[in-house]
Structure 1
Amino acid sequence: MSTSPGFRPTQDLASLQFDRALQLLQQAGLGDLQGAPGSAVWLQGMIDALCDLSSRDALTGLPNRRTFFAALSREIDRVARSGEPALLLMLDIDHFKRVNDAHGHGVGDLVIKAVADALAECVRPMDLPARIGGEEFAVILPNCPPAFGQTVAERVRLRVEKQIIAAGPTLKLGVTVSIGGAYAPQWVRSTPSIWMERSDLQLYRAKSEGRNRTCLEPTPVSTVSAEEKGLLFGGNPPGELE
């Protein structure tokens, strides 16, 4: 990070309010900044830490909803250009409201963190697991052939099912998840919302069929929806400028 000739860190920082930023970083365990306060190294460290904090869910440490949607848009564009398969999994903790009602939100938070940890352990470094809602998670899996999709989803489901969550001295809980998945249409200019709707449909099917199960589209979609045809032949998608 370079500074202009007229920038005097130790003097100019006196007029800036960093207390709140430092407090947020310390609460997230990111407050150990290198360099002397006010130095270029210290300032760059604060900027990097704040950027990292803004991209992650505060409870689980997973990428947050905003980061997820940005990654989803990039992945669907990549699939349209390369034709490589990409799988989107949507996960929901089964009967999570019962946990909160019976044991309180503190225990509910422990359950969410435990599921997040299990999810992160089941995916590759190139995959992106995210928390997108209260008890809702998603995983973007680039370059995931259809032959392996069900295996990946089942690995996640079984990992969560086998986990024992210590929620207190005498309280141990087990939870399950329902998982739905769909592949991005290859060689087609689609939208994140279409891809999510198809994955959500499979998640709803997993819930309606009894929960604690995985439901993926039988085969990658080869048909093109009316909205996708519009994207192919009608110019820019809604809201996109030339």
Structure 2
Amino acid sequence: MPDPGVLNLDRALQLLRQTGQELPQGLPGSGAWLQSLVDKLCDLSSRDALTGLANRRTFESALNREIDRVARSGEPALLLYLDIDHFKRVNDSHGHSCGDAVIKAVAQAIGESVRPMDLAARIGGEEFAIILPNCPPAFGQTVAERVRLRIESRAIDVGPSQRLGVTVSIGGAFAPQWVRSSASLWAERADLQLYRAKSEGRNRTCLEPTPVSLVSAEEKGLLFGSSPSGDIA
């Protein structure tokens, strides 16, 4: 075990305090105490500082794992992309502190709408994503609508006697089952549906009509080890 007297742990402990995390319990410098400190720092590095949801790095890692799992197991999985509608107006009209309050409220609503096995992440300024393993296609629209409606119905406190309501647009796509695909292709499909939701008026959910059954040229290349432009019947 390293000598705790040699380690400079002040910055690590200060970071935990600043982010409102509990400090490690037990005898400072002991093996259990140091392991608890490492675990807390790892958890902190995987989360978005404003919302507490998974951050983009954690999301991308989980997305890669899930696309591989679906290819092996054939179980369905749904990816949802969410974007707060007209978020720039919130910042312009009420200020960035109000914008932060809106983002945190939306993140809380998302967290209340998903299962413990799902992964909800903040992947950009007002952009969120949810990975839903083992989500059958028959339930996809219902799940997405549950998230949308929970956010729409929430009154967000942004100041003394001041409340705002916001909406989100949601796009979703299912991972191709039994097919070796890539996280980027899955994300592109979900993003395309998000674009459709926004172009059709916002405050709505758009999912692919059916799970993707056609295999793209790129996915054929991944499956058979040929180039995407290869001639595969």
Structure 1 residue 225 and structure 2 residue 216: aligned? Answer: yes
Aligned residue number for residue 20 of structure 2:
29
Structure 1 residue 67 and structure 2 residue 94: aligned? Answer: no
Q: Distance in 2 between matches of 1:58 and 1:78?
A: 29
Q: 1:73-116 CA distances to partner (integer Å, 9 max, x unpaired)?
A: 11111110111111000000001111111111111111000000
**Secondary structure of 1:36's aligned partner:** coil
Choose the corresponding residue for 1:175, options 163, 166, 174: 166
Q: Distance in 1 between matches of 2:226 and 2:212?
A: 22
Aligned residue number for residue 116 of structure 1:
107
Choose the corresponding residue for 2:46, options 30, 55, 58: 55
When structure 1 is superposed on structure 2, of 215-224 and 12-21 the one drifting more is: 12-21
Structure 1 residue 14 and structure 2 residue 5: aligned? Answer: yes
Aligned residue number for residue 140 of structure 2:
149
Choose the corresponding residue for 1:133, options 124, 137, 155: 124
**How far is 1:14 from its partner?**
3.0
CA RMSD between the two structures: 1.4
**How far is 1:138 from its partner?**
0.4
Task: Indicate the percent of aligned positions where both proteins have the same amino acid.
Answer: 77
When structure 1 is superposed on structure 2, of 71-80 and 36-45 the one drifting more is: 36-45
Q: What TM-score does the superposition give when structure 1 sets the normalisation length?
A: 0.91
Q: What TM-score does the superposition give when structure 2 sets the normalisation length?
A: 0.95
Contact 1:22–1:31 at 8 Å: present in 2 too? no
Contact 1:89–1:179 at 8 Å: present in 2 too? yes
**Secondary structure of 2:4's aligned partner:** helix
Contact 2:13–2:23 at 8 Å: present in 1 too? no
Aligned residue number for residue 68 of structure 2:
77
Please tell me the residue identity of whatever aligns with 1:152. Answer: V
Aligned residue number for residue 192 of structure 1:
183
Gaps of 5+ in 2: 229-233
**Secondary structure of 1:100's aligned partner:** helix
Please tell me the residue identity of whatever aligns with 2:202. Answer: R
Q: 1:177-228 CA distances to partner (integer Å, 9 max, x unpaired)?
A: 0000000001100000000000000000000000000000000010111110
Choose the corresponding residue for 2:89, options 90, 98, 105: 98
Aligned residue number for residue 160 of structure 1:
151
**How far is 1:33 from its partner?**
1.2
Please tell me the residue identity of whatever aligns with 2:208. Answer: E
**How far is 1:31 from its partner?**
3.7
**How far is 1:37 from its partner?**
1.6
**How far is 1:175 from its partner?**
0.3
Q: Distance in 1 between matches of 2:44 and 2:23?
A: 14
**Secondary structure of 1:15's aligned partner:** coil
Q: Distance in 2 between matches of 1:134 and 1:102?
A: 17
